[in-house]
Amino acid sequence: MTYCIAASIDEGLVLVSDSRTNAGIDNVSSYSKMHVFDTPADRKLILLSAGNLATTQAVLEQLHRDKVKEAEVNLNNVECLSAAANYLGQVSVEKQKQHKEAAGQNAFDPSASFILAGQINHETHGAFMIYPQGNSITTSANTPFLQIGEIKYGKPVLDRFLKPETSLNEAARCCLVSMDSTVRSNASVGPPIELLIYRKDSFKLDEYYCFQDDDAYMLGLRRQWEDQLREAFAKLPMLDKKYVKPLIAKL
Amino acid sequence: MTYCIAASIDEGLVLVSDSRTNAGIDNVSSYSKMHVFDTPADRKLILLSAGNLATTQAVLEQLHRDKVKEAEVNLNNVECLSAAANYLGQVSVEKQKQHKEAAGQNAFDPSASFILAGQINHETHGAFMIYPQGNSITTSANTPFLQIGEIKYGKPVLDRFLKPETSLNEAARCCLVSMDSTVRSNASVGPPIELLIYRKDSFKLDEYYCFQDDDAYMLGLRRQWEDQLREAFAKLPMLDKKYVKPLIAKL
């Protein structure tokens, strides 16, 4: 499994990903799911990937090859993020199809999802989630984040706190808490946790973090979040018997 | 969809369920998923249900009929909770099979899950989760709760705070927060929210609550939880650039 988050907010982008992959619970490895492309100075593009590892690697390789051989459409010449998302969707569908059609592979699932985030030229920064079918969606003012992989455990904290006006530092902590809840609840999501903060119009990727399992900052964040949740919890209004209603055995 | 929780802790049981059912997003109804049986004074049994509504209703009806006609095995005469769970599993499998075999119904899913909780005679109180296949599991000291339905959104808060030694009042609030997070994140889980607290060895079901959407206690709980999470959030250790690592474009 995998868990990746992209927050696209007023100040820029926050991208977080785990690094655990597995082909069955007895076959666990560690692979980065945050991929950065070497592009011209007018653009910064970051890709997060989830799903079949062979597919995501094949897609990455193709994106790289297209760039090197200066294909008609490649990440170095697409005009905007949505065009990049379309192109990525096409490559993804093509790679999935190749493997899906292999003889005797009917039960096998080659599907993969991606988040493509960044900024191209004078366009606003942004993020797109590309479905296995190749189509894509972007964020909105109401939902300024995208998730791929094991999305449910970590969604409530994003729903509650992530707004377009949230600061980058706060959004980063929000995404790390979301990731931490997921790591705790699903053994197939795990460290190292990668975090990249992109300040809009900076065209710099110089705020990159990589937290190992025993990282002091992550341990501190986790401990403090737990302690404070515990305090918050203890202060919740007590249930009072004055609210009790009669219960009638129905059967 | 549905979300039900059963906490089986030292002081007794906490049971929480939502009431939304749907047959497609355009066909939403409200049904209680907390079912209490009229049993002899030596036992209290509560059933929570998730999955196909026709199946759960057919199962409930059968349990009721077996009791009325004093069948060889019924909820009034089973010796212990695990025997009751076995019996329920058999009835559930039988009811699912009936409908599964109906002609032309191959794409249709009649499966249902249950949690059976309570206390019988001198045995310790407890809870069992019955899978669609009819087998069942109970709680443990490490995991003193069971969930059915839409379980993921509300699991982190249970993982963090629910322990065997948690008080009933605190466990009830923990389950309500878990339910509230789920209602917020999944539109197919909704009020009224039912809550039942059973104190061990009491053989009384007199702490029953039913919270509508605009219930003052639930609104207060939600607001206070949000406010305090927000405070907790603001206090989390800031990300510091001293942790920054070099990021190398890989592609």
Cα distances (angstroms) measured from residue B112 to each of A140, B14, B115: 36, 21, 11
Reported as a single tens digit per residue, the pLDDT across A191-240 is: 999 999 999 999 999 999 999 989 999 999 999 999 999 999 889 999 99
Contact B15, B174 (CB under 8 A): no
Give me the pLDDT at residue A56, please: 95
Give me the pLDDT at residue A119, please: 98
Give me the pLDDT at residue A105, please: 57
Strand partners, B146: B6
Reported as a single tens digit per residue, the pLDDT across B46-90 is: 999 999 999 999 999 999 999 999 999 999 999 999 999 999 999
Considering only alpha carbons, which residue of chain B is nearest residue A33? B250
Contact A215, A223 (CB under 8 A): no
- Taking an 8 Å cut-off on Cβ atoms, the answer to whether B155 and A160 are in contact is no
- Taking an 8 Å cut-off on Cβ atoms, the answer to whether A236 and B248 are in contact is no
Considering only alpha carbons, which residue of chain A is nearest residue B67? A251
Among the ranges given (A34-48, A137-151, B16-30, B112-126), the one the predictor scored with the smallest mean pLDDT: B16-30
Chain B residues with CB-CB distance to A248 below 8 A: 36
- Taking an 8 Å cut-off on Cβ atoms, the answer to whether A38 and B249 are in contact is yes
Contact A182, A154 (CB under 8 A): yes
Strand partners, A193: A211
Considering only alpha carbons, which residue of chain B is nearest residue A150? B152
pTM, to two decimals: 0.89
d(CA B41, CA B39): 7
Burial of A138 from C-beta contacts in 10 A (0-12 / 13-18 / 19+)? middle
User: Residue B102 above 80 pLDDT?
Assistant: no
Chain B residues with CB-CB distance to A183 below 8 A: none
Confidence of residue A24 (pLDDT cuts 50, 70, 90): confident
**Residue B180: partners with Cβ closer than 8 Å, 6 or more residues away:** B218, B221, B222, B225
User: Residue A1 above 90 pLDDT?
Assistant: no
Give me the pLDDT at residue B251, please: 79
Considering only the C-alpha atoms of chain A, give the largest distance between any 2 of them, rounded to a whole number of Å.
Answer: 74
Say how many C-beta atoms besides its own lie within 10 A of residue B17's C-beta: 29
d(CA A242, CA B4): 24
Of A174, A237, A251, the CB nearest to B220: A237
User: Residue A7 above 80 pLDDT?
Assistant: yes
d(CA B214, CA B212): 6
User: Residue B162 above 80 pLDDT?
Assistant: yes
User: HEC string of B30-92?
Assistant: ECCCEEECCCCCCEEEEEEEEECHHHHHHHHHHHHHHHHCCCCCCCCCCCCHHHHHHHHHHHH
Of B35, B159, B236, the CB nearest to A184: B159
- Taking an 8 Å cut-off on Cβ atoms, the answer to whether A230 and B153 are in contact is no
Average pLDDT of chain B to the nearest whole number:
93
Give me the pLDDT at residue B103, please: 57
Chain B residues with CB-CB distance to A39 below 8 A: 249
Percent share of chain B, pLDDT over 70: 98
User: Residue B106 above 70 pLDDT?
Assistant: no
- Taking an 8 Å cut-off on Cβ atoms, the answer to whether B161 and A237 are in contact is no
Strands B207-211 and B28-30: unpaired
Look up the ipTM and state it.
0.83
Of A221, A225, A239, the CB nearest to B172: A239
Percent share of chain A, pLDDT over 90: 82
Considering only alpha carbons, which residue of chain B is nearest residue A166? B234
Reported as a single tens digit per residue, the pLDDT across A64-113 is: 999 999 999 999 999 999 999 999 999 999 999 987 776 565 678 899 99
Considering only alpha carbons, which residue of chain B is nearest residue A160? B226
d(CA B160, CA B181): 14
Reported as a single tens digit per residue, the pLDDT across B133-144 is: 999 999 999 999
Give me the pLDDT at residue B7, please: 98
Phi-psi domain of A121 (left: phi exceeds 0; alpha: psi -120 through 50; beta: other): left
d(CA A69, CA B98): 61
Backbone angles phi, psi at B220, to 5 degrees: -65, -45
d(CA A69, CA A250): 72
Give me the pLDDT at residue A28, please: 85
d(CA B136, CA B156): 23
User: Residue A184 above 70 pLDDT?
Assistant: yes
Contact B17, B33 (CB under 8 A): yes
CA atoms within 13 A on the CB side of A99: 19
Give me the pLDDT at residue A23, please: 81
Give counts: helices (H), strands (E), chain A: 5, 12
Q: Per the structure block, which two tokens stand in for B145?
A: 């709760």
Chain A residues with CB-CB distance to B249 below 8 A: 36-39
Chain B residues with CB-CB distance to A230 below 8 A: 161
**Residue B45: partners with Cβ closer than 8 Å, 6 or more residues away:** B36, B37, B39, B75, B84, B116, B117, B118, B120
Looking at A105-205, list the stretches that DSSP marks H as alpha helix, in order from N- to C-terminal side. Answer: 155-161, 168-185
State the smallest CA–CA distance between residue A115 and chain B in angstroms. Answer: 16
Q: Which residue, A90, A139, A131, A96, is CA-closest to A113?
A: A131
